[in-house]
Amino acid sequence: MGGYVAVPAYLAARRRGVPVVVHEQNARPGVANRLGARLTPHVATTFPGTPLRGAVRVGLPMAPALAHLDRAALRGEAVAHFDLDPDRPTLLVVGGSLGAQRLNEAVAGAWPDVEAAGVQVLHLTGAGKAVVAAHRPGGPVHRILEYTDRMDLAYAAADAALCRSGAGTVCEVSAVGLPAAFVPLPIGNGEQRRNAEPVVEAGGALLVADADLDAAWLREHLLPLLVDRPRLAAMAAAAQASAVRDADERLADLVLAAAGRS
């Protein structure tokens, strides 16, 4: 899976003749997996075009509840679970397990425009990243939670998402067919932008640089999308078509083949 701790394991396995399977989560591989891929013919990637020798794309394994989620079937339960209005379009804002202050601030700053568009927000801020609810009585809801353990319902309640583009997030929103506006984390080796590019190019998502995300961008690009049902439907179909929903089975098959048990 990569990371500095993987290198000793790769080398030790090679020395002892133990089969190695490398799985690279990000579109741009790190140093550890570039090395690991030179030591084994069993190399898997999450995204297409990842530059690792001999790699096969298997996708990213995820919980079956997400990989096979039927958003439409769960919509009623999801809206009730988060106490949302079933007649309003819903924007899911999520910055990963730790949240993303940039996303939080952009949504709070754009609230007058969000409210004017009639859009409600399910806002997962992340631990310790407080946001003051902006809604007024009778207006669209700004539902704020630090965390939820029911991401299946969060995805089902939403019509679109504003989120970072870590590998897990990109694969999940694509698998469930949720249109997204990806805001890559502006650090590291640029892997988050690369993660988002395939689904953006397929027509299933928007892409905005962290420095460009503000109230004006939300007003001009994301809010019009949320009230455009035909465009949302087209993006949802494109996102899901770009996804790999049986990654767990594909990776398991590769591991069994490496172990000589297929």
Predicted pLDDT at 101: 82
Predicted TM-score of the model (pTM): 0.92
Contacts for 185 with CB less than 8 Å, ≥ 6 apart? 100, 164, 165, 166, 192, 210
Average pLDDT over residues 71-80: 98
The confidence band for 139, taking pLDDT boundaries of 50, 70 and 90, is confident
Judged against a pLDDT cut of 60, whether residue 35 lies above it is answered with yes
Predicted pLDDT at 51: 93
pLDDT tens sequence across 141-190: 889 998 899 999 999 999 999 999 999 999 999 999 999 999 999 987 88
Predicted pLDDT at 129: 63
Domains recognised in the chain with CATH numbers: 6-60+245-258 (3.40.50.2000), 64-242 (3.40.50.2000)
pLDDT tens sequence across 226-251: 999 999 999 999 999 999 999 999 99
